[in-house]
Amino acid sequence: MQKETEMTTLPQKVEMRNPGMALDLDWVRRVQANTSAIERRAATLPGRRSVKKDYQAAWLCKAVSCIDLTTLSGDDTAGRVRRLCAKARQPVRADLLKALDMQGLTVGAICVYHDMIAPAVEALDGSGIPVAAVSTGFPAGLSPFHLRVKEIEESVKAGAREIDIVISRRHVLSGNWQALYDEMRTFRAACGEAHVKAILATGELGTLRNVARASVVCMMAGADFIKTSTGKESVNATLPVSLVMIRAIRDYYGRTGAKVGYKPAGGISKAKDAVTYLTLIKEELGNDWLDPHLFRFGASSLLGDIERQLEHHVTGRYSASYRHAMG
């Protein structure tokens, strides 16, 4: 890691939106994905760059600031959400942050179901940490369309500043790009001032080319972020999928000048994996995307492992992993 990558970890007070554009079907049809080349490139990523000592600690603190701390369980309670929000405000032990000179570090957002928005908003009052709500019939996205739109509107009214929507996979699988565009455009409008993350459920889209084309269409329709997965699929975030989506973001930025964020979700639980993803972002998109306004991890267990690694950096020893578990 070069000196230029020393980074602040507090979110910048900048609001970035993707205005979208008219659907360009010629552009969509030209989008391809060389699967073998993508897989070869992705396979080299974990061993490409070694980040050690103070640089590693700085990158891990950056990863913390980009986490959407998430609870999406059927047995969620207001008490569990309040505990998660307390962790969001103080994600790493105060003594470790003081030793690292990282006081004030928080996560990027709290992500919950609609019913848990109210306790999350109350618990985060004054923190500046946004509440994100999963919506549109998450995770399958198969409820009646008017109810999916209404769910967005209700979550925004309840105080969610970010909405994670799920697309209709059938539009991608059948190549109905107009339907996907219209759906995403409607969801974007229902969000109002709330930022919208489009969950592609990449493990269910069949091919990397479908992932690339769905990414472009959702960005054309105004998605502020594109996100890999709900975390409920059998295959969630992977490096090949991430490479495809990140390059779609790069291409979209080059053509339109609009910066769209990226969120890998599901299956990222180790600190070393977080560094790999941040390295990928830096190499493919540049330092502007190393910021919670343009990059998020959809994870919760990841935070526990990062805290253990930071403790080892500061004290030279590891604590038991159960000490960092959340529930």
* 227 annotated active-site: yes
Of 204, 271, 274, 206, give the one whose Cα is nearest residue 239: 274
> What ranges in the chain are assigned the alpha helix state H?
25-30, 35-44, 53-65, 78-89, 94-100, 117-123, 145-158, 169-173, 177-191, 208-220, 239-256, 271-284, 301-315
Spatial CB neighbours of 207, under 8 Å, sequence gap ≥ 6:
33, 35
In 3D space, the residue among 20, 1, 9 whose CA is nearest the CA of residue 226 turns out to be 20
> Helices (H), strands (E): how many in the chain?
13, 8
Distance CA 17, CA 258 (A): 8
DSSP state, residue 74: T
Which of the following is catalytic: 227, 259, 282, 291?
227
- For the chain, the first-to-last Cα distance in angstroms comes to 34
32: DSSP letter? -
CA distance 238 to 229: 10
66 φ/ψ angles, rounded to the nearest 5 degrees: -105, 10
CA-based nearest residue to 275, from 110, 50, 54? 50
The closest alpha carbon to 200, from 173, 174, 168, 232, belongs to 168
Q: Which of 62, 68, 87, 164 is catalytic?
A: 164
Q: Which of 275, 247, 286 is nearest to 4 (CA)?
A: 286
Alpha-helical runs (H) found in 66-191? 78-89, 94-100, 117-123, 145-158, 169-173, 177-191
Q: Is 232 an annotated catalytic residue? A: no
Q: Does residue 248 contact residue 215 with C-beta atoms inside 8 Å?
A: yes
Our answer to whether residue 26 is catalytic in this structure is no
Active centre residues (catalytic): 164, 227, 263
